[in-house]
Each structure stands twice: as C-alpha cells, then as structure tokens.
Amino acid sequence: MSKLPGSAGFTVLGDKSLEFYRDPVSFYRQRMDKHRGGRVFQSRVLNRATVFVCSVRGARELLCEKSNIFQKDPTDLMTNMYGDTIVTTNGEEASLLRLSFSSLFTGSSLESMKAYITSDHPKCAYSVFKSLGTQLVLGLFLNIHLDEHPELFHEISQLCTQHWHGLISAPINVKVSMWSSGFSVALEAREKLMAIIKDKLQNDKNGFVGTLGTLPLPDSSSASQHLLLFISALIPKALASLLTSFTLALSGNEQVIAKHTLQDPDYLHLVLLEVQRLWPPFIGGRRIASEDCTIAGFHVPKDYGAIYISHAVHRDPEVFQQPDSFLPERWRERNAGQEHFLCSFGNGPRSCIGAKLTDVFLKEACMYLLKHYNWCMDPPTQDLQYKWLPVSRPANRPTLSFSRLDKSESDSSSTS
C-alpha cells in the first residue's frame, strides 16, 4: 500500500476548487506531469481532502469493485435541488429505487427522429441539439409535446433552465427588491415545476408518467422528485454535447467515415463509442470514502473525497493506444469488448439508469442525420477548444451548414 502522491493542503487556504472548476483538464494534466505520469493523486476540493482518479484501473475499483465503500455525498447540492432520488441516495434505498425504475428504461426503441434541422443558414449545432433533447425528455417523460402544447412546453423549458442555472450557481438563497440570487430563482422554478409534475401524475395515466405512478416507491413525493430529475436541463445538455461532438468529428474530410457508417450500420456503434471516449459529456463524478481503503494500490483514508475524471480515464495509454486520436476501429480491434471501461455515464451498480435510452436516441438521431444530410463547418475554420463544465462542448459554439440529400441519394443510403 503506497501513500497518495500530492498534498491535500490545509482547510480553506489549501482548497483548489476554483482552479479545478475553471479548467479540470489542465488541473489534472499539470498534476500528472508533476507526479511523473501518475494517474492517481490527491488535492483539496470543496474543502475536503480528495483523491483524483485518472486511470481505468482506479475508476473500475472506485465505481465497480468498491462501490459499496465509495458513497454519494448526502450533502451534495443535487440533493438540495432534486431531493432523495436514484442519483443521490445510497445503500439499500438506492438499490430498491434502481430496481423499481429499471423496467421504465428498457424495452422498445424510440421512433426515428424527425428533421429538426433546416438547411437555409448555418446553425449553432449545440443549440439545435439541445432543443431536440428538450423535446425528447418533455415528450417522453411528461407527455408534453411542442406541437400540441406550445405554451406549456416553453414554460417548462424556461423553468428547467432556471432550475439548472441555480444548480451550478453559489447556493445562496437571497431575495431583495428588484433582484434575486440564481439559487433563489432556481428554488422558485423548482416549486413551479413540482406543481406541474404533480398535476401530471394525478391526471395523466398514459405513457411514462402514467406508469411511474404505479411503481412501488418509498413515499408519495418520490415520483415527482424523480420526474423533476428526468426532465432537468441536464439530459438535453448531455445529448446536445454528444451530438455536437459527433457532427464535428464527422464534418469535412471525416465525411468518409459517415459513408462507411451508412454502408455498415454496426460501425455507427463504434463511432459513438469513440465520440463518447474522447468527448464525454460529463467530466466525471464524486464519491466519499466511508472507510479506509485503497485505490490502484494507494491508501485512501476514511472521509476522503474521490473524483474520477472520465476525460483522463478514457485516455489511459495502458488501455487505449494513441489515446488522443479518433479511431473508431479500435473497438473492433485491441479494445473490442472493453466498452465497460468507459465512464461517461458512471459505471458499475450506480451507473446512469438512462444510459440505454440515451444510446437508442443517439443512434436513431445520428442515423437520421447520416441518411438525410451532408454537413460541414461554416465557416470552415473555427475555434473548437472545449470547455468541460458543466457539460462538455466547444467554448465558442460551432456553426455548421446542413445540406439535405436529394431523394435518390437518401434512398440509396437507406438501402445500402
């Protein structure tokens, strides 16, 4: 058992939260360089001594083999904003919730997506795809569709955005004349959303919201709290992140990959795995050690925080050769059968319960784009430097031009 490299610093004065949240990728790379490539080290974040995990081996231990030791933080802001949900609870309660919800996230695939993109002008890809994701989650989870209830749809969309912005703001509930803190606005948005959700649970017996009301949940508030979580702006942002990275990866000269994908539909799965590997929508996740233990051979004391960095784990050179290169073929070759090493949506018993649903949606949406459009960056040279929090996307939102394939090309691609 070895001592963790680095220093946890002193309370308050030694905290590195600002540096980490400003640029998490530079944060971990600088410390890995300092520790001669070591992919596990310690620092202080959120005023807690914390181990950072940047290797596949360490992430597997943290999320899978020792998931019973590394628990969700009960004081996390997600608990304040969403209540006790499948994401925030621990132990038996989390297992029972997962069991109750599992039937709602498996089964039939989503219908093919309609064309949400027009070809008249260059589009901000991220904004378009976030709108698509919002329509998906509100239609799927609340039976509220833009074309049927436009005013209610836009009201909920705005409330979800306000609620989300409060989640990533300082948790200070302040209201004075003519001004309210972001957190205060978020709490008000939460109350309004909960009122809408409770009305749907009472009066809508169809689809997901209708089935949710029949599940054996711990208490009467659990269904509404989980619906609040499922319709949050987090899901559309994650979908928008992956779809944006997909279209950028396949734009320009990479359109040859697009043609290959149409000729071999199974290749799309490899492309999406590689998109997820290089540009995970979430930088990672956080746990708390409930007892003394080890990660990748290093001693982790009780009450230490533990943060896994998916961006780093997915670039572990011991597992992924040429880790910074976009190589979908790796998933048929050296990394065949190693999809479980990815942690974009967590991993192990606490992985995202909606990961399969996300996978179905992404495949449907991407195949629709491939069959019906060509696209390129417009202008062709743009700054694609990524920001990684709260979700990954280019810091300067890229614009792309989509040109619809003529019918003969589309029919040909559909039958190839």
Mean pLDDT by 10 residues, the chain (416 residues): 91 91 96 95 96 98 96 77 79 79 58 41 77 89 91 95 74 48 83 95 90 84 91 88 94 73 87 97 95 97 97 98 96 96 94 85 88 89 92 93 74 49
The answer to whether the CB of 112 falls within 8 A of the CB of 368 is yes
Cis? peptide before 390, omega within 30° of 0: yes
Query: Is 274 part of a structural domain of the chain?
Result: yes
Q: Is 179 among the domain residues?
A: yes
Q: Does residue 3 form part of some domain?
A: no
Evaluate whether residue 2 is within a structural domain.
Answer: no
Q: Is 5 a domain residue?
A: no
Domain assignment present for 11: no
DSSP run (H or E) holding 239:
helix 234-249
Which pTM was predicted?
0.89
| Residue 300 CB contacts under 8 Å (≥ 6 apart), including other chains | 4, 51, 289, 292, 293, 294, 306
What lies within 8 Å, CB to CB, of 202 at 6+ separation is none
DSSP string, 250-295: TSGGGHHHHHHHHH-HHHHHHHHHHHHHHS-SS-EEEEEESS-EEE
Whether cis (ω within 30° of 0) applies to the bond prior to 379 is yes
Residue type, 322: Q
User: Is residue 310 assigned to a domain?
Assistant: yes
Please give the structure tokens belonging to residue 373: 């459009």
- What are the CB-based long-range contacts (under 8 Å, 24+) for 210-213? 211/104, 212/104
Q: How many domains does the chain have?
A: 1
Q: Are 227 and 209 in contact (CB under 8 A)?
A: yes
The CATH number of residue 36's host domain is: 1.10.630.10
- Domain annotation covers residue 10: no
Give residue 35's pLDDT.
Answer: 94
Structural domain including 69 reads 17-415
Question: What pLDDT is recorded for position 178?
Answer: 41
CA distance 52 to 41: 5
